[in-house]
Amino acid sequence: MNEADRVRLAAHGVPPNALRAARDGGAAVHPALAFRVGVPWKTARSPARATLVPLWECETVVTALRDDGMFVHVSLELPEEPLWATPSFDEVTERLLITLWEDDVAEADLREVARLFQFRAIEPLLHRLDGQG
């Protein structure tokens, strides 16, 4: 990640630990992020890089900031057709936490990732995921 990308992501509300994960990979921030938050090497070599500032990738799917200021989750094979899009980094974090929950990551680790990514709605999210809300 170059300095211009870092500044742009930070200006869109991406907190320091998420920027670190984007630069160094998720495992550098927390072990639970090792697979789902990979360094975006494929994106850097993709034509999609012209319109995306990548946060992280998992296999051929990347989470990125698009030129229009929307965070998107896209397949590098079809970058013009996002799987989802949101203006909010909190929603990016929520979606990541849901995926980690589906991967059977322990709740203590989910809470720690939420703290590291400055996501404050972890308890309501866990209640909803556990069917209590």
User: How many residues make up the chain in this entry?
Assistant: 133
Cα Dmax for the chain? 43
pLDDT band at 133 (very low <50, low <70, confident <90, very high): low
Q: How much is the pLDDT for 76?
A: 87
Q: How much is the pLDDT for 53?
A: 92
Angle at 72 between CA 53 and CA 92, to 5 degrees: 100
CA distance 92 to 80: 18
Q: How much is the pLDDT for 47?
A: 76
Q: How much is the pLDDT for 132?
A: 62
Q: How much is the pLDDT for 126?
A: 97
The H-or-E segment that residue 53 falls in is strand 52-58
Bridge partners (DSSP) listed for residue 85:
72
pLDDT in tens, 21-79: 999 999 999 999 999 999 988 876 777 777 889 999 999 999 999 999 999 999 988 88
Which alpha helices (H) appear in the chain, and where do they start and end?
A: 3-11, 16-24, 41-44, 89-102, 107-116, 122-129
104 C-beta neighbours (distance < 10 Å), count: 6
Token couple for 94: 């929520």
pLDDT in tens, 86-102: 999 999 999 999 999 99
- For residues 9 and 55, the answer to whether their CB atoms sit within 8 Å is yes
pLDDT in tens, 96-125: 999 999 999 999 999 999 999 999 999 999
Task: Please tell me the pTM assigned to this model.
Answer: 0.93
Residue 131: pLDDT above 90? Answer: no
